[in-house]
């Protein structure tokens, strides 16, 4: 049998002296489309960052495709969309540059971008409907557009597994539909998706499994139910939903 994509066993994480994950078990298999739901501060971002080895475990273990994050090498298989674009100063990157950075794990060092790289970047920009903004500095885009740039960066890498932290926060309804279409496409290709959301909205039909976190613990893990599609107890950061 092949390794699961992620295996977190008894994962405990402490941040700033506080327990943030309290012994979480989560195994994600290839082809699953998992939504991680839960109130603000329940540990959703910490959970996905832990799966990626970005947060140290106080105890427990995590494996990515059967290897610890330290030993895992095949990062091209993973596309990560972080919760927010960090507002770094310095040299402004264009939309195309940020999306092209999603190809780096695939590139041979010191070789210029290949035709396949350029095509992947072009297709990803078209898929999130930002082809006409390719040459603009990302800082000139709205928050929702910047979110779409990060989604395009993940798509451009053509990974086997997408990990997306609130990919729809601050994105308008039309873009949410476009993202749902992208997710349907990648799910149909058998890719794995782990996405954090406050509500499923148009993504609901694509989701195969819902994991609900409350105060650092999984309180539900199973197929989606009607109640998951509109999480009344949750408050999106920048929701455009009524």
Ligand X SMILES: Nc1ncnc2c1ncn2[C@@H]1O[C@H](COP(=O)(O)OP(=O)(O)OP(=O)(O)O)[C@@H](O)[C@H]1O
Q: Which residues lie below 8 Å from residue 82, measured CB to CB, with a gap of 6+? A: 150, 165
Which position among 42, 45, 158, 176 is part of the footprint of Mg ion (CB under 5 A)? Answer: 45
With CB under 5 to 8 Å by kind, the binding choice for 41 among Mg ion, ligand X, none is ligand X
- Bridge pairing between strands 33-37 and 59-64: unpaired
Identify which of residues 169 and 183 has a Cβ nearer to ligand X in the complex.
Answer: 169
Identify which of residues 29 and 39 has a Cβ nearer to ligand X in the complex.
Answer: 39
Burial class (CB in 10 A: 0-12, 13-18, 19+), 236: middle
Helix/strand number for the chain, H first, E second: 6, 9
Query: Which of 99, 173, 82 minimizes the C-alpha distance to 141?
Result: 99
Part in contact with Mg ion (CB under 5 A); list of ranges 43-51, 99-107, 135-143, 205-213: 43-51
- Bridge pairing between strands 18-28 and 6-15: antiparallel
Question: Taking CB under 6 A as the criterion, which residues in 106-145 touch ligand X?
Answer: none
Should residue 40 be labelled a site residue for ligand X when binding is judged by CB under 6 A? yes
Q: How many CA atoms lie within 13 A of 235 on its CB side?
A: 2
Which position among 11, 43, 79, 170 is part of the footprint of ligand X (CB under 6 A)? Answer: 43
Identify which of residues 18 and 109 has a Cβ nearer to ligand X in the complex.
Answer: 18
Query: Which of 13, 7, 25, 4 minimizes the C-alpha distance to 63?
Result: 7
Should residue 15 be labelled a site residue for ligand X when binding is judged by CB under 6 A? yes
Identify which of residues 81 and 130 has a Cβ nearer to ligand X in the complex.
Answer: 81
Identify which of residues 65 and 80 has a Cβ nearer to Mg ion in the complex.
Answer: 80
- Bridge pairing between strands 33-37 and 209-214: parallel
Nearest approach, Cβ of 168 to ligand X (angstroms)? Answer: 13
Which position among 10, 27, 41, 56 is part of the footprint of ligand X (CB under 6 A)? Answer: 41
Should residue 20 be labelled a site residue for ligand X when binding is judged by CB under 6 A? yes
């Amino acid at each position: 049998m092949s390794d699961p994509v992620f295996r977190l066993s008894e994962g405990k994480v402490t941040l700033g002296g506080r327990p943030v994950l309290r012994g979480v078990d989560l195994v994600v298999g290839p082809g699953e489309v998992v939504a991680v739901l839960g109130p603000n501060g329940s540990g959703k971002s910490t959970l996905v960052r832990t799966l990626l080895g970005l947060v140290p475990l106080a105890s427990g273990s995590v494996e990515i495709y059967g290897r610890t994050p330290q030993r895992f090498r095949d990062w091209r298989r993973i596309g990560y969309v972080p919760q927010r674009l960090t507002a770094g100063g310095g040299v402004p990157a264009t939309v195309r540059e940020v999306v092209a950075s999603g190809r780096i794990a695939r590139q041979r060092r010191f070789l210029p971008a290949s035709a396949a790289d350029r095509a992947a970047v072009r297709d990803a920009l078209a898929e999130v409907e930002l082809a006409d903004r390719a040459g603009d500095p990302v800082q000139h885009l709205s928050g929702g557009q910047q979110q779409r740039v990060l989604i395009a960066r993940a798509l451009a890498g053509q990974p086997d597994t997408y990990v997306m932290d609130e990919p729809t926060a601050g994105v308008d309804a039309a873009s949410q539909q476009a993202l749902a279409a992208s997710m349907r496409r990648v799910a149909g290709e058998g890719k794995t998706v782990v996405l954090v959301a406050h509500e499923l909205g148009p993504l609901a039909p694509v989701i195969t499994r819902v994991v609900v976190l409350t105060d650092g613990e999984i309180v539900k893990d199973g197929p989606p139910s009607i109640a998951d599609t509109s999480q009344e107890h949750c408050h999106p950061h920048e929701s455009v939903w009524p």
